[in-house]
Amino acid sequence: MNDFLIFGSSGLTGSLFLNLVKKKNLSYHLYLREFIDSEDLSNQTIFDFENIPQFPRSTVLVICIGYPLKFLELIYMKEEVREKFKKTDFDLISKIAKNASDQGIKEIAIISAVGSNPLSFNYYLKIKGLIEKEILSLDFKKIIFVKPSHLLGSRDASRIDIWVKLVEFFGEYFGFLFMGPLRKFKNIEASTVSTELLKVIQRKDTNLPFLIETYEKS
């Protein structure tokens, strides 16, 4: 049995989570769009929207996938971007989660976003809220939603524009303003997110309770 089935291990948070899993010598299986040379082929399965594979027995399904948006697209998306975003962040994740639930996997963890709400006027937050609602309707015994604000970490240069730089500059010098109930909106290191996620999966106390929502069904 694998400890983790991981979708999105090549992304910012997913890659850091995978590194933690490796350091702790936990077993895992990766689901990817293309093979990674540095990984044993037996630990990898290629998937696409039309081909969600059968899952081996596992403890937890971890989903870190998301459509790559520019910063301003978090605020407003053109119609063609909306379609691509929804296809990845709702349709694909929903399909993966339903298949996993049908195959008997009982625990799921997914990277969502602070402010997610199925009734939000913001399309990004609305889709994040809708996928959470969809997952809650499935037959998982334990569901973990990680809801970070802007993630800090090593990104592809093509995704770092002036708006990202401004947000990170503001967070660095004025982060002290985000106290109390505003703390959840503060920029956060992706490495911290992955560390806290693993803690919660392993039923350890998190240092950042505002970051993670956990639901357990009897």
- Domain of 89? 2-148+190-216
144-190 per-position pLDDT tens digit: 999 999 998 887 766 677 777 787 777 777 778 888 888 898 999 99
Cα–Cα distance for residue pair 17/94, rounded to 1 Å: 21
Residue 141 structure tokens: 């015994």
Cα–Cα distance for residue pair 63/43, rounded to 1 Å: 16
Q: Could you tell me the CATH number of the domain that includes residue 66?
A: 3.40.50.720
pLDDT (0 to 100) of residue 113 = 96
In a domain, 131, yes or no: yes
In a domain, 160, yes or no: no
81-133 per-position pLDDT tens digit: 999 999 999 999 999 999 999 999 999 999 999 999 999 999 999 999 999 99
pLDDT (0 to 100) of residue 158 = 63
pLDDT (0 to 100) of residue 143 = 97
H or E segment to which residue 14 belongs: helix 12-23
Strands in 9-94 per DSSP E: 28-32, 44-46, 58-63
Query: Three-state DSSP class for 7?
Result: strand
Neighbours of 152 (CB within 10 A): 20
In a domain, 45, yes or no: yes
In a domain, 23, yes or no: yes
Lowest mean pLDDT among 9-23, 44-58, 155-169: 155-169
- Over residues 13-32, the mean pLDDT reads 93
Residue 195 structure tokens: 């560390």
In a domain, 171, yes or no: no
In a domain, 176, yes or no: no
Residue type, 76: Y
| Beta-bridge partners for 152 | 189
Q: Residues near 173 by Cβ (< 8 Å), separated by ≥ 6?
A: none
In a domain, 157, yes or no: no
What is the percent of the chain with per-residue pLDDT over 90, rounded to a whole number?
62
Alpha helices in 54-161 (DSSP H): 79-86, 93-102, 123-136
> What is the pTM (predicted TM-score) of this model?
0.91
Q: What is the number of structural domains in the chain? A: 1
In a domain, 172, yes or no: no
What is the percent of the chain with per-residue pLDDT over 70, rounded to a whole number?
97
Distances (CA, A) of 135 to 66, 172, 180, 188: 16, 35, 29, 25
Strands in 8-112 per DSSP E: 28-32, 44-46, 58-63, 107-111
Residue type, 61: L
pLDDT (0 to 100) of residue 95 = 94
Label residue 214 exposed, middle or buried (CB < 10 Å: 0-12, 13-18, 19+): middle
Chain centroid, CA 97 distance in Å: 13
Residue 82 structure tokens: 């909306």
